[in-house]
Amino acid sequence: MGIDYMYPEFEVVRNRERCINCRICEKECANGVHIFNEEKNCFAVDESKCVNCQRCVCFCPTHALKIVKSDCRLRENANWHESTVKEIFKQARSGGVLLSSMGNPNKLPVYWDKILINASQVTNPPIDPLREPMETRVFLGMKSHKIKRKENGEIDCTVPPLLELSMPVMFAAMSYGSISYNAHESLARAAEKLGIYYNTGEGGLHEDFYCYGENTIVQVASGRFGVHNDYLKAGAAVEIKMGQGAKPGIGGHLPGTKIVGDVSKTRMIPEGSDAISPAPHHDIYSIEDLRQLVYSIKEATNYQKPVMVKVAAVHNIAAIASGIARSGADIIVIDGFRGGTGAAPTRIRDNVGIPIELALAAVDQRLRDEGIRNRVSLVASGSIRSAADVVKAIALGADACYVATAALIAMGCHLCRNCQSGTCNWGIATQKPELTKRLDPDTGSERLINLMTAWKNEIKEIMGGMGINSIEALRGNRLMLRGIGLNENELRILGIAHAGE
Amino acid sequence: MKKEGQVRIPSGCAIAAVISRKGNKMSGELITNAMKPMHDRSNGLGGGFAGYGIYPEYKDFYAFHIFFNSRATRKDCEQLLKESFEIVQAEIIPTRKIPAITDEPLIWRYFVSPFKSVLKSLQIDEKELVARTVMMINTSVNGAYVFSSGKNMGTFKAVGFPEDVGVFYKLEKYEGYSWTAHGRYPTNTPGWWGGCHPFTLLDYSIVHNGEISSYDANRRAIEMFGYKCSLQTDTEVITYIMDYLIRRQNLTYKEAASIIAAPFWSTISSKDEKEKQLLTYLRTMFSDFLITGPFSIVLGFNGGLMALNDRLKLRSMVVGEKDDKVFIASEEAAIRTMEPDAENIYAPSGGEPVIVKVEEDI
């Protein structure tokens, strides 16, 4: 009540004729929205707690529930949006930094949607992936052109450490702690079956999952949580996380409520303590420091594993990537400003960084201009939503893509964007045992495998249409892309022509 | 309408080639005639030939064939050449006036030798200097285009049907141990003399039939290594890739073929361990140079040639032989024109290189 009262954002609409008072909704909602009044034998509702995660809707056996956007609105104002006003109320009350989860939801250009893909007609035949081989295998890492011959003239076929992917998609970093044990197990098992990789994120690797090491990328972030020698050696590659698209320039924050049991053990920090990773790595204040960490990790892993460096897409990303390429990194991950997060300050998430499409195009071109593109692989990250986005990213110049939000959605996430609350009703972004058990790793991994298999087939169809039968011939093949409704600057940066040209 | 080089123009084509394993000389008339039965594979917007062993008296000099728009351009270009090369002979390439070929530019050839002092100061070998000079003239001297730059070989090309181009250039007067030919079917261009095939750099010449779907991936990759694709044609990018792999990386023709027409991973996995290792190595390290989409090419070089199809064999190409000669063409009819009794005619599989070398150095 009073100034700060906000009418709930969502309303629960219960169809009384359909409702059979089975109380499943009550049980499924960890937020306590549905309250059964046994005396009156009917439901009361506390809509202020509803986050529109759709859990009750999906599990209502009689389809009696729906969640709708409340129509109780402030007076319309094109400058002072309702969300802006409400955020001010919140801050005036609490004095706090606003927190949000998942990627930037604001109306900013999604360049993927303004890029169209080519297909063959007449002069060059499309290739039918049902009848001809269509290759999606990708190797990530340094591609050395230095041919060394042995005394008998044969080529010395020693290759630098590489990651081999059956398709150009991997599961991006999501820490154990930010997501559940079962979610991690689902990702690990799916990655193994699919012949791709998942990423531990900055929370260390649970001892149960060392067996998936061949399909695991272990992350070293500024907090160094869970980092030790065995951990570095457990994975197929080591990723140094310098930044994240959702929150460039700041560190991570996992609330103490999520640091329980194995999470605390895996992170190697006390239970209940907030895991706050610093904004910078305190041993990396410049590019030459990064080089030292890259080589420290290479030394620790006997030069057997590629080292990845993940950075957020910021204004000067092309020059930064060039520096990283020259610092010994084998793979550069660029995370665009729409990338997801388990928790980030709202202002940062919504205002800092640049779109992955522009960053990727700029970096790929810059590395080519400098003649060092083959020294590193590029992974594009930050809201890759479909097989079409993957194809466009590869054609712009990526070697592979990272997906995280899409993987979460496959496991049940309905994008309610309340991961920071720790009460994920889908059992993903939570550590509460009664919730985490809702995600069965058998189902989770199967759904991830299904999703990636579907994408792989779609990628093959699109490639075949272009007359391309191997993914490497698509990489950087910008002639296969056209822009629609883009201005000249955007086209120039993307390095593509406008549709019709 | 945009000119070739400002826009990418796909085209279909006819190719033919002949080589004598013993290095016996054949007149250019033979290959000119071979193009006649394939007339309908071209549309009159480009034809051309490359002959090897045709300049024995100047075999130690690089033979630059250059198109000029004007006399002034020629003077400028010669000035530029003289900065790095000694020009031992400069002459107009003899042509015949025929109604089928019109609007010709000035067509000159120069036999040149690089100055040692220039090589020393740039710390490069003479082939690299020639390659850089060609690239420089073609990208920055407006109105001049070097279309041949090898030793003891030469390219002859024009807008027109190939059989007319052969007559225009009086190819019957040249004797070579190896010839390649091309008829062009571009889809949307008025045709430009420089854009015709063969495309050459140093002694590498390529005639090509197809439209590669990997073009921009290949172009953007090869441009990292000092090449500039000014024509936006498949032939140009393939020539540069072959030059990079063979001359600069010292790979063999077979190794280079297994990069640009790499075997499928499933094929690689069926090979023995050693072969598997090599093919995986080449395919992984040089993945940017995999060429997809239809192509049949003949790569000519001093002392031999290599024919290669894309790995799905999306373009026709047949090979035949008779005595010391090996014939390659888009259609068997072209081979039969050159040698009615050609034997062992077969269609090489996709990605299977046919490499023919003359037995002794010519």
Q: Is the pLDDT assigned to residue A257 strictly greater than 90? A: no
pLDDT average, residue stretch A439-453:
98
Residue of B nearest to A162 (CA): B284
Interface test with B, best of A137, A155, A166, A474 (most B CBs within 10 A): A155
Q: What is the mean pLDDT of residues A222-238?
A: 95
The backbone torsions φ and ψ at residue B51, rounded to the nearest 5 degrees and listed phi first, read -120, 140
Q: Nearest chain B Cα to A497, which residue?
A: B7
pLDDT on residue A254? 86
Identify the band that residue B11 occupies on the pLDDT scale cut at 50, 70 and 90: low
Tens digits of per-residue pLDDT, A268-311?
A: 999 999 888 999 999 999 999 999 999 999 999 999 999 999 99
CATH of domain A138-142+166-498: 3.20.20.70
CATH topology of domain A10-96: Alpha-Beta Plaits (3.30.70)
**% of chain B beyond a pLDDT of 70:** 95
Q: Which pLDDT value is given to residue A255?
A: 84
Contact B213 A473 (CB under 8 A): yes
Mean pLDDT of A184-209: 97
- Average pLDDT score over chain A: 95
Judging contacts by C-beta atoms under 8 Å, the chain B residues touching residue A466 are 213
Does residue A266 have a pLDDT over 60?
yes
Assess whether pLDDT exceeds 80 at residue B4. Answer: no
As a whole number, mean pLDDT of residues A251-255 equals: 85
Whole-number pLDDT of residue B9: 65
Chain B contacts to A (CB-CB under 8 A):
8, 10-12, 187, 210-218, 220-221, 223-225, 249-251, 255, 262, 264-266, 277-278, 280-282, 284-288, 290-294, 311-312, 314
pLDDT at B24 over 90: yes
Chain B residues whose beta carbon lies within 8 Å of the beta carbon of residue A163: none
Q: Would the pLDDT of A475 be above 70? A: yes
User: How far does A442 lie from chain B, in Å, by closest CA?
Assistant: 30
Q: Which positions of B are annotated as active-site residues? A: 13
pLDDT at B12 over 80: no
At residue B192, the pLDDT reads 80
Give me B93's structure tokens: 């390439």
Contact between A480 and B216 using a beta-carbon 8 Å cutoff: yes
Nearest to A147 among B211, B250, B264 (CB): B250
Instruction: List, as one string, the DSSP characters of A331-376.
Output: EEEEE-TT---SSEEHHHHHHSS--HHHHHHHHHHHHHHTT-GGGS
| pLDDT tens digit sequence for B87-142 | 999 999 999 999 999 999 999 999 999 999 999 999 999 999 999 999 999 988 88
pTM of the model as a whole: 0.93
Share of chain A above pLDDT 90, in %: 92
Instruction: Name the band, by pLDDT with cuts 50, 70 and 90, for residue A31.
Output: very high
**Nearest C-alpha in B relative to A124:** B211
Interface probe with B: pick from A120, A373, A475, A494, most Cβ of B within 10 Å: A475
pLDDT at site B190: 61
Question: For residue A259, what is the DSSP state?
Answer: -
Q: Do A374 and B211 touch (CB under 8 A)?
A: no
Alpha helix locations (H) across A195-286? 229-234, 261-267
H-type helices in chain B, by residue range? Answer: 28-34, 71-84, 116-122, 126-140, 162-168, 215-222, 234-242, 253-260, 265-269, 273-285, 332-338
Structural domain boundaries in chain A: 10-96, 138-142+166-498
pLDDT at A430 over 60: yes
Q: Which residues of chain B have a CB within 8 Å of the CB of A127?
A: 312
User: Could you tell me if A204 and A181 are in contact, meaning their C-beta atoms sit under 8 angstroms apart?
Assistant: no
Contact pairs from chain A to chain B, CB under 8 Å: 116
- What pLDDT score was predicted for residue A374? 95
Quick check: B180 pLDDT over 70?
Answer: yes
Q: Do B265 and A157 touch (CB under 8 A)?
A: no
What is the tens place of the pLDDT at every residue in B299-319? 999 999 999 999 999 999 999
pLDDT of residue A68: 96
B204-254 tens-digit pLDDT: 999 998 889 999 999 999 999 999 988 888 889 999 999 999 999 999 999
Q: What is the pLDDT of residues B149-173, one digit of tens each?
A: 999 999 999 999 999 999 999 999 9
Residue B188 pLDDT level (bands cut at 50, 70, 90): low
Annotated domain spans of chain B: 11-357
Residues in chain B: 362
Across the interface, do A124 and B281 touch by the CB < 8 Å criterion? no
Mutate one of B266, B287, B316 to test the A interface: name it (highest A CB count within 10 A). Answer: B287
Contact B265 A137 (CB under 8 A): yes
Whole-number pLDDT of residue A114: 98
Chain A residues within an 8 Å CB radius of B262: 470
Provide the token pair at B32.
């000119």
| Average pLDDT of span A330-337 | 98
Instruction: Write down the mean pLDDT value for chain B.
Output: 92
Q: What is the pLDDT of residue A17?
A: 95
Cβ-defined contact of A479 to B314 (cutoff 8 Å): no
Given a cut of 60, whether residue B361 has pLDDT beyond it is no
CATH T-level fold of B11-357: Glutamine Phosphoribosylpyrophosphate, subunit 1, domain 1 (3.60.20)
Which residue type does A360 have?
Answer: L
Give me the sign of the Cα torsion angle B26, B29, B31, B33: negative
pLDDT at B46 > cutoff 90: no
Note the pLDDT of residue B187.
Answer: 67
Q: Closest-CA residue in chain B for A132?
A: B312
Burial of A295 (0-12, 13-18, 19+ CB in 10 A): middle
Q: What is the pLDDT of residue B2?
A: 66
Q: In this predicted complex, what is the ipTM?
A: 0.91
**pLDDT at A222 exceeding the cut of 90:** yes
CB distance B330 to B41 below 8 Å: yes
State the DSSP string of A396-418. HT-SEEEESHHHHHHTT------
